[in-house]
Amino acid sequence: MKDKLIENPFFKTKITSANVERKEMVLGYYLGPFIALISNAIFGSYLNRYYTDVVGTTTWAPMFAMMMPVVSVIFVVIGNLIIGQLMERSRSSQGKARPYLLLSAPLVVIAISLLFLSPNDGSIRTLIWVAVSYNIYYAVAYPMYYTSHSTMVSLSTRNSKHRGLLATFSNAAGVGAIGFGASFVFPLFQGLLFVTKDGGVDAQASYLAWRTFMIFLCMITFFGIVLEYFFTRERITEENLKLNIKEEQVPMVQQLKAVITDRYWWFIILYFLLFQLGGMVKNGSMTYYCRWMFDAVDEASAGSYQAMLGLIGGIPTAIGMLVAWPIAAKLGKQKSIVLGMILAVLGGAVSFVDVHSFALVCTGVVLKGIGSIPAMYVTLALLSDVQDHLEAKNGFRADGFTMSVYGAIMVGMSGIGSGIINALLGMGGYNASLSVQSEMTQNALAICYLGVELVCYAVIAVMMLFLTVEKHITEDHKTILENQKARVLKAGGEWIEPAIRLQMEQEEADRIAENTRIEDLKKKCAKKGLSFDEEEAKYQAKLKAKRNKK
């Protein structure tokens, strides 16, 4: 069913260029993912608070609140592994990951709806609905989207420069969804969703508000995923199809053996685990921190604090999109990450001078953000280098298994983070109906929002000293090319050098695009009664002027 659907001409990618161009970067790797990831970014910051403050799980089911997201990580890991293997076994003219982007769009919409359609009566059926809907979203629907989305950079091209640009845009989309969507825009309206009553949260009014907001989240998420699908392309997956190389299905056990015996793979995976864990605990506790650690008197003022903190803290990440790759090009990806993490740890420590001072907390957050710029933007490209190294060493790619683990980390750490937050809040006696929290609760929030991430960054700084895969890039690409050539000749095919093949493909794409333009212009002239020769002459004149200007 999926294969028949994906081969329909309607679902063909809109990207026809042999090389990565602006349209693909902007629409496929930034705008589409940015829109698609907004809902999950909001969940990362607010879903746990929805459960604690609206459903009230920390009050009447504290053990469930602590254990449910942690136990669910098991199902998240299983779900990601299954999606990864499905991807690894899939081949189509549209790639092996992109079809799952398309399939995920309706599933994610259904899963989002189920999250907020649960009963809210404090009964066992509420807990069952919460647990089931949480796992449908985080263990099934979202992994299907996120695993395929995350794989796109490594499957897009072998051109290191282009891959780096796509990694930057892809990471910028995720950072933007969190920093702009969840940390700046959403807090301005959080008073409409966490309705205040007598200094606390009105659970029933908030429950109804979230049900309405759910519709908006469903619509934008569906649109973003579809946009990403149509404006991306898997050039590496297409290589074997065009070269008539028959790919053997690599068993998961074989992939597992290949990756776990490679130290670079372990370092990059542990990096993502620590970076994501620190970020999830910080993001998940931010809304609590702004509500109870400053002088906010209601949700509106807390939202203003969070919006300002999100805006100020987001400035480094916005600038980082422009400077990350120049820095990485000069120092190397690994060295830039190590130096950045050291700066982040030293700068972030400023916040602990006074955890109740908005100015000092902002200063620490900004300095930490500056230091984290290389880590935010270049690590997907570094992961692609590790993938190429594995391919050169083993003769096959382990995208399916690796991206399953990566996806499980990126999704599963949300559950671990929520469990840590809920455990500390429970021990501190957190109660959303109070106007002021206890000192123990405030200490817990300082640890969650400011401390956990700094510890993770310190460990990363040391660990990344040993991730030196970049020194193998030239040798790895040469080996991969030799292996491709041998397989083509063994299959009785004709070997064409990649540069020539790309040029031929680009010329063919340009020819098709030009023929399409001419046919469209003829139809337009016939419909409007215009002279084709005159309109064509106008177009050619504009094209000549544009070339002369360049």
pLDDT digits (tens, 9 = 90+) for 232-275: 998 888 776 666 655 566 777 888 888 989 999 999 999 999 99
Residues 313, 366 contacting (CB under 8 angstroms): yes
Burial 403-422 (b: 16+ CB within 10 A, else e): bbbbbbbbbbbbbbbbbbbb
pLDDT of residue 247: 57
pLDDT at 78 over 50: yes
Q: Looking at residue 395, what is its pLDDT?
A: 86
CA distances from 281 to 60, 253, 373, 473 (A): 23, 33, 19, 34
Say whether pLDDT at 8 is over 90. Answer: no
Q: Which residues pair with residue 201 across a beta bridge?
A: 196
Average pLDDT over residues 347-375: 94
> Which long-range contacts does 243-248 make (Cβ < 8 Å, 24+ apart)?
243/484, 243/487, 243/488, 243/493, 244/488, 244/491, 244/493, 245/484, 245/487, 245/488, 245/491, 245/493, 246/491, 247/91, 248/396
Which of 117-131, 237-251, 360-374, 502-516 has the weakest average pLDDT?
237-251
Q: Give the C-alpha separation, 480 to 496, whole Å.
A: 14
Query: Is the pTM higher than 0.75?
Result: no
> Are 130 and 116 within 8 A, CB to CB?
no
The answer to whether residues 315 and 339 touch, using CB atoms and an 8 Å cutoff, is no
Angle at 343 between CA 340 and CA 346, to 5 degrees: 150
**Which is more confidently placed, 106 or 428?**
106
The pair phi, psi for residue 196, each rounded to 5°, is -85, 140
- The yes-or-no verdict on residue 183 having pLDDT over 70 is yes
pLDDT tens column, 459-495: 999 999 999 999 999 999 899 888 888 888 887 777 8
Of all residues in the chain, what percent carry a pLDDT higher than 90?
Answer: 42
Q: Is 222 helix (H, G, I), strand (E, B) or coil?
A: helix
Paired with 200 in beta bridges are: 197
Rounded CA separation 350/364 (Å):
5
Distance CA 103, CA 86 (A): 12
Query: What are 384-410's pLDDT values in tens digits?
Result: 899 999 999 998 878 778 878 888 888
Q: Does the domain at residues 2-479 carry the CATH identifier 1.20.1250.20?
A: yes
Largest CA distance in the chain: 79
**pLDDT score of 2 more than 60:** no
Percent of the chain with pLDDT over 70: 96
Question: In a 10 Å sphere around its CB, with 0-12 CB exposed, 13-18 middle and 19+ buried, how is residue 167 labelled?
Answer: buried
φ, ψ of residue 429 in degrees (nearest 5)? 75, 35
C-alpha to C-alpha distances, 329 to 110, 178, 333, 377, nearest whole angstrom: 43, 26, 7, 12
- Report the alpha-carbon angle 217-222-227, nearest 5: 130
**C-alpha to C-alpha distance for 226 and 206, rounded to whole angstroms:** 31
Can you tell me the mean pLDDT for 174-201? 83
Question: How far apart are alpha carbons 103 and 91 in whole angstroms?
Answer: 15
Domain residue limits, the chain: 2-479, 496-549
Structural element, H or E, at residue 196:
strand 196-197
Q: 461: how many CB neighbours lie within 10 A of its CB?
A: 20
Secondary structure class of 357 (helix, strand, coil): coil
Q: What is the 3-state secondary structure (H, E, C) of 139-185?
A: HHHHHHHHHHHHHHHHHHCCCHHHHHHHHHHHHHHHHHHHHHHHHHH
Cβ burial, residue 98 (10 Å; 0-12/13-18/19+): buried
Which pLDDT score is estimated for 1? 42
